[in-house]
Chain A
C-alpha cells in the first residue's frame, strides 16, 4: 500500500494579510508559514494512522513549491511518512500544480492520494478533483472519516445538511477535512528522524497555467459596531428589520 499525501505551505491563520507591488503580490514580510492544516492534521495524520496499523504502508509526500517550502516539508516528515518530493515551481495555478502532482502520482504508482479539502491562502478546493481526473481515478471529497478494508475504502463525506457514506475500490483520490484524524505535535524522535529522511527535488513537467491572478483587494473596513443596550432588545430587532433588512 503506497499513499501519496499532498502538502502545501500556507501563511498561519493569524498572519496579517497585505499585498505589495500594486496589490499583485502577497506581502510575505513577517509571515509565519505553516503546513496547510487540512493537509497536516487530517490527511497526513490519517495516513500515519493507517501506517501504524499496517507497517507495510509507505507514505510519500509531495509539494509543489520553491526551496523555501523545505522547512515545512521537514516538519511534515517529523510527524511521520517515509519520504518527500518537492516539485520546484512557484505556480499558483491549480491546474498547473495538479498536473505536477499527477505526474508524480503516475510515476509512483500510488494506491491512495490524500489532499486537504483546500488551502488557507487561495481556498481553491480544486487539486484533489483535478489530480483524480488527470490520473483517471475516482474521487471522494470533503471526507470526515476514512477506513480501509483490504483495497476497499469506506469514506464518510460531507453533504449539505448531513453526511454520506460511500465505498470505493482503490486506487482513489480523497480530500480530507476535520474529523479524519486528530491534530498531532511532532516529538523529538520524529524531528531527529526527519533530518535524514529523503527529500527529493524534481523539476516541473510542461503544463499550462489556465488562470492568472490579476490583483488582490482587501475588503472594505467595517463601519464599526452599533451597540444596543441589553435592556432594549426591541431596538436591535428594529435595526435588523428596518436598517439592515436582514429579518
Chain B
C-alpha cells in the first residue's frame, strides 16, 4: 500500500502542478499511514532526488526519451506496471491536459474509481470521499470511490506546494509498453508567456478595452505582476487575442490566486471559467456590471486611466517591499 503521484513535465522541467500533486500525495499518504512515491515517464534535466522535499520517498523513472511525447495507451500501460511494482492503492494526477487524457484511461484499465478535478484532501474517516467542483464551479460534489485502487486528479492551484527537507531515492523503472500510435509532429508554444492554467495571477481583458491596439496597458500590468494574460469570449472570437487565451465556459477554466478582470461585464458563461479563482478584482466603468457581484475587490472606472496608475502603484509597492 502506497500513494503514487504521476509527475508531468515539459521542456525538461517538472510542472508546477505536479509539485502541488506531490505535496498533496504526501499528505494523503500521511493520512493513510503510508508513504508517497512519484512516477516520471520520460526524461528531465533537473535533479529528481530533490523532489523528496515535497514529501515523497521514492521516484520511479522510466527514462525513455520516447515517453517525452504523450501517447495515452503507452502511458496507461506504463502507469499500470508502476502501480503493480509499487503496490500503490492511491494514484494522484494533476487535472491538466495530460492528466485529463491519462487518468481516465488508467481508471478503465485498472477498474479503479476516479474523481477528477479534486479540490481538497480525501475524507478517509468513513470510506474514501473526495470533494470536486461540479456544474462549472457553481457547486461541489463529495464523491465516494468504492474500489480497492483509487485515482484522484487534483485541480491545479487548489493545493499549495509545501517544500520541506528530504531527498527521494530515484529508481529506474523498466516498462514493456509498446510503440506509440499517436505521433506528435509539431509543438507550438507561446514562448515567454506564463501558461494560463499554471499562473498564480491572471490579468484578463474584455470588450471594454475597445480594440487589440489597446492591449499594451493590460500587458504592462501583467508584466509587473508576472501574470498570464487572458480574455473574454467576444475578444477571442473577434481575434483581438489568440483563441487559447479565451477564459470561460467554453474556453479555458482557470483557478489562480488572483484574477483581475478589465472591461469584462461578467456574463455567467465567463464566470463559469473563473469562479474558482481565490481573489477576483473587477475594473469596469459600468457600476452595474454583473461581474462586481462575483468580485472581492472592484474599481468603477475607465480602464484606460486606472490600468496605467495601477501598474505604477504595483511597481512602487514591489520596489519598496
A209 to chain B, nearest CB (A): 8
Q: Is the CB of A247 within 8 A of B186?
A: no
Interchain pairs with CB closer than 8 A, number? 276
Instruction: Give bound CA distance, A227 to B132, whole Å.
Output: 31
Which of A46-54, A76-84, A159-167, A194-202 forms part of the interface with chain B? A159-167
- A-side contacts of B142, CB under 8 Å: 213-217
Q: Is the CB of A208 within 8 A of B244?
A: no
Query: Is B168 in the interface zone, CB < 8 Å from A?
Result: no
- A-side contacts of B134, CB under 8 Å: 121-123, 216
Instruction: Give bound CA distance, A19 to B134, whole Å.
Output: 12
Q: Is the CB of B108 within 8 A of A230?
A: no
Indicate whether A237 sits within 8 Å of B314 (C-beta atoms), given known contacts A139-B105, A246-B279.
yes
Q: Is the CB of B135 within 8 A of A222?
A: no
Q: Which of B275-321 contact A (CB under 8 A)?
A: 275, 278-279, 281-282, 292-302, 305-306, 309-310, 313-314, 317, 321
Indicate whether A240 sits within 8 Å of B143 (C-beta atoms), given known contacts A162-B190, A166-B185.
no
User: Which residue of chain A has the shortest Cβ distance to B100 in the bound complex?
Assistant: A125
Q: Is the CB of B146 within 8 A of A127?
A: no
Q: Is the CB of A129 within 8 A of B72?
A: yes
Instruction: Give bound CA distance, A10 to B181, whole Å.
Output: 33
A48 to chain B, nearest CB (A): 18
Instruction: Give bound CA distance, A216 to B106, whole Å.
Output: 26
Mask, A218-238, CB within 8 Å of B = 1, is: 110011011111100110111
Instruction: Give bound CA distance, A83 to B198, whole Å.
Output: 41
Instruction: Give bound CA distance, A113 to B207, whole Å.
Output: 37
Which among B133, B244, B298 is the interface contact of A163 at CB below 8 angstroms? B244
Chain B, interface residues (CB within 8 Å), range: 35 or more
Mask, A91-134, CB within 8 Å of B = 1, is: 00011001000000000000000000100111111111111111
User: Which residue of chain A has the shortest Cβ distance to B153 in the bound complex?
Assistant: A125
Instruction: Give bound CA distance, A136 to B147, whole Å.
Output: 22
Query: Is A142 in the interface zone, CB < 8 Å from B?
Result: yes
Q: Is the CB of A123 within 8 A of B76?
A: no
- B-side contacts of A158, CB under 8 Å: 97, 244
A123 to chain B, nearest CB (A): 6
A120 to chain B, nearest CB (A): 6
Instruction: Give bound CA distance, A163 to B195, whole Å.
Output: 11
A241 to chain B, nearest CB (A): 6
Which among B109, B188, B313 is the interface contact of A237 at CB below 8 angstroms? B313
Q: Which of B95-116 contact A (CB under 8 A)?
A: 95-98, 100-109, 111-116
Which among B116, B138, B145, B313 is the interface contact of A124 at CB below 8 angstroms? B116
Query: Is B53 in the interface zone, CB < 8 Å from A?
Result: no
B150 to chain A, nearest CB (A): 9
Query: Is B167 in the interface zone, CB < 8 Å from A?
Result: no
Indicate whether A122 sits within 8 Å of B141 (C-beta atoms), given known contacts A132-B105, A225-B293.
yes
Query: Is B117 in the interface zone, CB < 8 Å from A?
Result: yes
A174 to chain B, nearest CB (A): 11
- B-side contacts of A226, CB under 8 Å: 296-298
User: Which residue of chain B has the shortest Cβ distance to A158 in the bound complex?
Assistant: B97
User: Which residue of chain A has the shortest Cβ distance to B276 in the bound complex?
Assistant: A219
Mask, B195-211, CB within 8 Å of A = 1, is: 11110010000000000
- B-side contacts of A11, CB under 8 Å: 135
Which of B28-36, B37-45, B82-90, B246-254 forms part of the interface with chain A? B246-254
B267 to chain A, nearest CB (A): 9
- B-side contacts of A37, CB under 8 Å: 249-250
List 8 A-B pairs, minimum CB-CB distance, nearest first.
A230-B301, A129-B104, A161-B195, A210-B113, A162-B189, A133-B108, A126-B104, A141-B101
Given contacts A130-B107, A246-B258, 10 further A-B contacts (CB under 8 A): A95-B113, A120-B249, A129-B100, A138-B182, A160-B96, A160-B195, A161-B189, A163-B187, A211-B115, A230-B300
